[in-house]
Chains A and B, each alone.
Chain A
């Protein structure tokens, strides 16, 4: 049985199609919806800010697209990938990234059988909502420096996978030790693996931020005052 199913397991990104019980799917879908709605509204408003703003937003999406396709090795002996959401969260605020994450997750669910349509809500919640919110919060707290950008994007990345682990633990408590034991198990699979990847994403985001600081002066200026990047 496991052997028959094995090829499909290797396809899984975050929570695989059909694995999360329907009740939880509906729960995360409803939970994610308002964030995505706010994001859509902000996306509209921000894209009207002029200059190359639309293209600038596309760059944040492209970064997310690119990084979430990069499966990298980790010290624990398994592979995972960055999320790329911290960069956009720091520049455009967390909610715009919710919308972009839905696009990325849909692409992977439809064309790569990674994640899934039923688990879209749950995966959006971890990658598109909690990750960017953590990244944005840390960036604000850490004093808006290069170190702040590094910490924001790497801890946002880590937060995404911690949430995935917790989502699985809540849906599938361990028969012996309940939710806590299951959480420890899933965290050991996801969070530890993610540590070197989180550091790599942090470094890449600092590089990327350096690039846009040089070439997107006007866009960054136009975004000031909102919940956005401030050098």
Chain B
């Protein structure tokens, strides 16, 4: 296999080869030294990449799903337009709350604004937004040219905040910052910690959680909510799927943070830990076994006999609802292979769900991950900062004198640390079988070549390479948008996923790809002269 990968990347020009070979590895757990991979570095110009930009990470991923924030994209029209309803962050209006999910706000900068500055237009836009919508929170997200012309969006935000007595937050998430959408996640996280979290005083009950890095795509968050509430947890806030600024304000009151997508939000998890003492655990609600493990891990944290019993009862109940169906789908999927290239945690999480179905993952990679997402957080101290990562603001938080609290005793913490992923994420790689391929920032050329070589039965990726795979005769499932299905999280979600995968693999349409005249003899003989 190693030689096959080499063959693919050896086709590159020398400089590209030198760069790309650091981003690819063949999993080998038997080596004495842990394996390392290069990630979170610049995309090579000209390479057809799937990566997005800083703005996509900030507005598109993290802030966009907040229902009650009126987010103005400050810039020309495109960026706002492309993040309008395109990430499937489901959200339900509650009571008389404001819901901006189906709206797209932009300053639609014109040439004159670029020449003379866009601040005036931004102020006017906020004024108009306030007059028409009376929002409680306005967020400003800036795009590439805004950073270049030097509009001071922070000053505008301060002005608007005083003028209208509402929260107005500025996010300098210009597309060129950092090397992928990851920089934007970080910027959004910083803004939420600095200005929102910690400003609320909601009274929170027993067993309270924040769910971090869950964007409610296809209703995933709702499935988690259903299960967790059934066990008896209170969900203080969801970050940020179907989330609200209003709920986020009191996030510091929760007992525990559970992190679903590590890459997009580990910063908040960590800052909440430093500032308020709240621990976080890494969970994975994609897959039946992993959902069960995550539920048990959360229960272990609280160490309460009733809660543990409730957890086991719910697990048993949910399992009895889905087992028959899962077995049925497993019979059809067993033995197939998959390649995954998706997001910041999904390429890891979905391996578990596929494993539940007997599907082996032979290649997995992330689009915008950092080394810790592959290798585990223990490598954090060894990651060298480069110029691009230094351009992303990193904020220092201190323990909050009023709200800092320690939940676990030192002894208990030490004991629990060995049992569950407490303030720790082990990364994707350790979970992968020897001989499988790990590849960072998989690009078009590598996708095309590796699909040819590996011939997986299933390629899980995003919309940009979905049809490449189909044209090559390999079923592709989008794991960003789920091909407009879902939820895929939790117990019921696992069944939905199993159903959809089985459907895609077994659809009779595949039988028609090759026309019959290409395989059957077409010359019909007849006797002459009868």
To the question of whether A and B form a pair in one complex, the answer is no
